[in-house]
Amino acid sequence: MRTCRDGKMFMEDLSVGYRDSFIARGYAIVAGSLNVMGTNSDDVKSAETASKIKEYFIKQFGPPLFTIGHGASGGSMQQQMIANAYPGLIDGIMPARLFADTMTFLQPLYDCELLANVFKTGTWTRDQMNAVSGKYWGYCVSNGARYPHARIDYCDATVKDMIANEADWKRVRCTYQDNLVNVFGADPKTGVARNPFDNVGVQYGLKALNDGKITFDQFIDINTRVGGHDNDGKIVPQRTVGDAQAIRRAYETGRMNAFTGAAAIPIIDIRTYNDGDPLGRGDPNVDVHDRYHSFIVRARLLKYNGMAANHVMLTAATFGAPQLDARTERSPLNRVSTEALAQMDKWLTAIAADPSSKPKAQKVADNKPADLVDACFPQKAGALIGAIEKVTDMARCNALFPYAGDARLVAGAPATDDVLKCTLKPVDPKDYAVAATAEQLAQLRKLFPDGVCDYAKPGIGQTTKVATWAVFKGNGEFTSLDAAR
């Protein structure tokens, strides 16, 4: 929740362009500090907070007609994960600058940090670094270590002070997985949280090799030196070996979001375009919210639900005119956001009024407003300052707002980008467009003694059976309330 300041911010805006749209249209706004990802990255606590706040609202004012989630970045992760893991709590969501979930946000950043360490040595062109990372390389420069959730000391200053001065706090660890130790469980041998991240068998730069961007020797060099992170988040020569239970729990409980629980709610995905460096601020200041994450969500909906009629992607230009801040009234983002709210209201109202006995997912698909489709909102050319057009031709949108990917996609991962630990297969010369020498193949087989990723097969521990309304017992075990009903 934001408070008014200098007349520029609005309590419901959250930097996503709404200004006072909710209040002006008669909506009630509720929020809590544990629904702010910068305060708490544990989405289970976030879900419980949302549930408690909604319960309090109902006691005070009665049941709402519907509950809409909105917010950007970390807020987008929470909306989607809550909607998926606790269906029914939220009726529709409007995630902005979205990431499918926290783990899908973090994995590319961890890879960026490892690749940046590789590229410190050797002669690498900018084009090669782009090709291997799957991104505009400035993204990795700016963000590879900006969100170090793998680090044990990624703690609030107050917590660090307690660790330094209180004996009972010495064992406190602030990694992503330690913050969710109740979900992943603790390793009985070490006492620390089980780690769900893994890069064993990943052939970094595979597409870059096959596209002729890097040589075979460079491909071998990258995969020889890329290494991984240890349990404290330090870069080490060995690949990261994920814990089998933690990986299984990530899939079973929705930490790696399959969107099966969110199959029957409207999702309006709102994004300002930040790929590359559109404002020319330089590599240290490249925004982390790249557009391909919207396409990951779309791919997962199609894979796990067989349809994506409940998902609409809207992309706005970063600025409508030089003098217009992205959140300013009449900016592309303001137009997208206010239009999305009106459409969400219309959509949810139609669903609620549908008397048929059709499954909820079908009602969502059938009642979507006809003019609510994937679109982008660039600035119009011409003499009219701040004029914006709506484009529904996605080929043109993708030309206006091109997007990339990440290092795992370059390594051959599926468009869903949801493989935490890959199934392995023997090194196969047929996988390489460049003919390898016998010596190079021998090097690869020595480098990958157990094999390389076979992305044609599901990942280790990957399942489509996802528990909803899970109750965690604190040791990595859980029960599903829905399963008990």
- In the predicted structure, residue 485 carries a pLDDT above the cut 50: no
**What is residue 4's predicted lDDT score, i.e. its pLDDT?**
37
**What is residue 168's predicted lDDT score, i.e. its pLDDT?**
87
Which amino acid does the sequence have at 158? T
CB atoms within 10 A of CB 313: 22
Average model confidence (pLDDT) for the chain?
90
**The tokens of 118 are what?**
């590789």
Residue 1: pLDDT band with limits 50, 70, 90: very low
- Tens digits of per-residue pLDDT, 249-301? 999 999 999 999 999 999 999 999 999 998 888 999 999 999 999 999 999 99
Residues 130-157 have a mean pLDDT of 94
Radius of gyration of the chain (CA): 23
Residues 406-413 have a mean pLDDT of 98
pTM of the model: 0.93
**What is residue 483's predicted lDDT score, i.e. its pLDDT?**
61
- Tens digits of per-residue pLDDT, 367-395? 999 999 999 999 887 777 668 899 999 99
- In the predicted structure, residue 323 carries a pLDDT above the cut 70: no
Q: For the chain, what percent of residues have pLDDT higher than 90? A: 75
Residues 41-64 have a mean pLDDT of 93
- In the predicted structure, residue 304 carries a pLDDT above the cut 60: yes
**What is residue 16's predicted lDDT score, i.e. its pLDDT?**
60
**What is residue 331's predicted lDDT score, i.e. its pLDDT?**
77
List the single range of 6-10, 27-31, 225-229 with lowest mean pLDDT.
6-10
- Tens digits of per-residue pLDDT, 120-138? 999 999 999 999 999 999 9
> Under a CB-based contact definition with an 8 Å cutoff, are residues 400 and 177 in contact?
no
- In the predicted structure, residue 117 carries a pLDDT above the cut 70: yes
Residues 84-88 have a mean pLDDT of 94
